[in-house]
Amino acid sequence: MTTINAKNAAGTRLVRKFADRLLAQCNDKGEHPWVMERWAYVPGMQLMAIARAGQQLEVPEYIAFMKRHMDAFVGEDGRIRTYRLEEYNLDQINQGKNLFTLYRATGENHYAEAAHLLAAQLISQPRTSEGGFWHKKVYPFQMWLDGLYMASPFLAEYGKTFDRPDLIDEAMHQLLLIERRTRDPRTGLLYHGWDESKEQEWADSSTGLSSHFWSRAMGWYAMAAVDVLDHVPVAHRQRGTLIGIFQRMIGALVKVQDADSGLWHQVLDQGGRKGNYSEASGSCMFVYAMAKGLRLGYLENNFEEPMRRGYEGILQHLITEDEQGIHLNSICHGAGLSIDRNGSYDYYISEAVVSDTPMGVAPLMLAVLEAEGVS
Q: Which helix (H) or strand (E) holds 127?
A: none
Radius of gyration of the chain (CA): 19
In three-state secondary structure terms, 44 is helix
146 a catalytic residue:
yes
Q: CA nearest 304: which of 370, 245, 243? A: 370
Residue 205 pLDDT > 50, yes or no?
A: yes
Of the residues 28, 91, 146, 163, which is catalytic?
Answer: 146
pLDDT for 72-128, tens place per residue?
Answer: 999 999 999 999 999 999 999 999 999 999 999 999 999 999 999 999 999 999 999
Are β-strands 142-144 and 193-195 bridged in parallel, bridged antiparallel, or unpaired?
A: antiparallel
Check: CB of residue 121 under 8 Å from CB of residue 129.
no
Domain 6-371 has CATH 1.50.10.10: yes
For 222-225, which contacts have Cβ atoms below 8 Å and span 24 or more sequence positions? 222/246, 222/249, 222/250, 222/253, 222/285, 222/286, 222/288, 222/289, 222/290, 223/149, 223/285, 223/288, 223/289, 223/363, 223/366, 224/148, 224/149, 224/152, 224/153, 224/175, 225/148, 225/175, 225/249, 225/289
Domain range summary for the chain, segments of one domain joined by +: 6-371
d(CA 142, CA 127): 9
pTM for this structure? 0.96
- The whole-number pLDDT of residue 11 equals 81
- The whole-number pLDDT of residue 7 equals 44
Q: How far is CA 101 from CA 2, 16, 35, 53, in A?
A: 28, 20, 18, 13
pLDDT for 132-188, tens place per residue?
Answer: 999 999 999 999 999 999 999 999 999 999 999 999 999 999 999 999 999 999 999
Other CB atoms within 10 A of residue 339 CB: 8
